């Protein structure tokens, strides 16, 4: 998937105004534990943007003097550092460095934006629960895989240690295959894990995630949307756009599209779309409130 297929950001951010700032980053944390979180000033920002060519770079625009913002940054730091170098997090004091906030057209703080290959992907504004942020990070990681960002980078401070328990062998085999872009091998590994342990929920979700990545890897977002708009009866086209919307974080749009489609279909076609929707529910996370809301709408359509 090319950079032009990164989900809509409601207006691209012009980062060129900060391009001539110095490259030195600062990090006030002095801890032996590895951390991929850093404090950003104007001089450090452009170098941080450059990291988004290797891994998703998350920017939190807030203020340490605002409790909601400080609490959010603590959650973001925990979740990012737990990724072990797959993400980086830059904390910006938007009151001290308003130029950075202006570059993102921030209307309020806190505001959290991800950068993927230099392109902004808005995540959310205001406070958010840890579980919701974790689900957003899962979607962001899927987008990163599509963009070829599958590696890790060294921590900004401290010494890297195993931040997560090791995966079961077949799960690790699947992850390695995903990193290599071999989605067929990844699916086979997850299916083997399910064969050994039928109630392996993580493996089942892994199957759905890999299938989603495989289905969307060669899709062009604009072309897919045009095709779906011109051919509302084409189930394949509608399913493609729903897949791309989930990858891009437009979860409610994807769910609404498929629920509406199900309301108009019958028999095998209805079941095909329903199965896809159930898979996407699992990918997003069955505890996600957007899934719960969509399930209620689906139930009304089906019953």
Alpha-carbon torsion 174, 179, 182, 183, what sign?
Answer: positive
d(CA 144, CA 157): 23
Can you give the pLDDT at residue 177?
Answer: 87
**Model's pTM, two decimal places?**
0.57
Domains in the chain, CATH or no CATH each: 3-146 (3.40.30.10), 169-302 (1.25.40)
Kindly list the averaged pLDDT for each block of 10 residues, start to end, along the chain of length 303: 35 36 37 79 86 92 90 93 91 90 86 90 89 88 83 76 71 87 92 94 91 89 91 93 87 94 92 95 85 92 85
pLDDT at 26 (0 to 100):
38
Q: Tell whether omega for the bond before 110 is within 30 degrees of 0, i.e. cis.
A: yes
CA distance 263 to 269: 11
Residues in the chain: 303
């Amino acid at each position: 998937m090319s950079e032009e297929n990164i989900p809509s950001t409601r207006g691209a951010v012009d980062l060129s105004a900060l391009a001539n700032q110095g490259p030195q980053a600062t990090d006030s944390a002095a801890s032996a534990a590895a951390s991929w979180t850093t404090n950003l000033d104007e001089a450090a920002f452009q170098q941080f943007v450059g990291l988004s060519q290797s891994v998703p770079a998350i920017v939190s625009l807030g203020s340490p003097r605002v409790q909601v913002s400080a609490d959010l940054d603590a959650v973001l730091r925990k979740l990012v550092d737990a990724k072990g170098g797959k993400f980086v997090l830059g904390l910006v004091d938007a009151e001290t460095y308003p130029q950075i906030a202006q570059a993102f057209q921030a209307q309020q703080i806190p505001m959290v934006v991800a950068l993927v290959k230099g392109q902004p992907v808005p995540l959310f504004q205001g406070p958010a629960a840890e579980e919701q942020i974790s689900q957003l990070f899962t979607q962001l990681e899927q987008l990163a895989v599509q963009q070829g960002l599958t590696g890790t980078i060294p921590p900004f401070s401290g010494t890297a240690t195993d931040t997560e328990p090791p995966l079961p062998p077949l799960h690790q085999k699947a992850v390695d295959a995903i990193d290599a872009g071999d989605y067929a091998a990844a699916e086979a590994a997850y299916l083997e894990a399910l064969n050994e342990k039928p109630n392996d929920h993580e493996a089942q979700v892994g199957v759905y995630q890999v299938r989603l990545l495989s289905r969307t890897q060669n899709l062009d977002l604009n072309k897919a949307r045009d095709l779906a708009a011109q051919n509302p009866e084409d189930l394949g086209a509608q399913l493609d756009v729903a897949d791309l919307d989930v990858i891009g974080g437009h979860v409610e749009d994807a769910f609404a599209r498929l629920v509406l489609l199900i309301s108009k279909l019958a028999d095998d076609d209805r079941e095909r779309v329903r199965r896809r929707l159930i898979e996407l529910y699992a990918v997003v996370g069955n505890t996600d409130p957007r899934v719960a809301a969509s399930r209620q709408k689906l139930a009304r359509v089906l019953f």
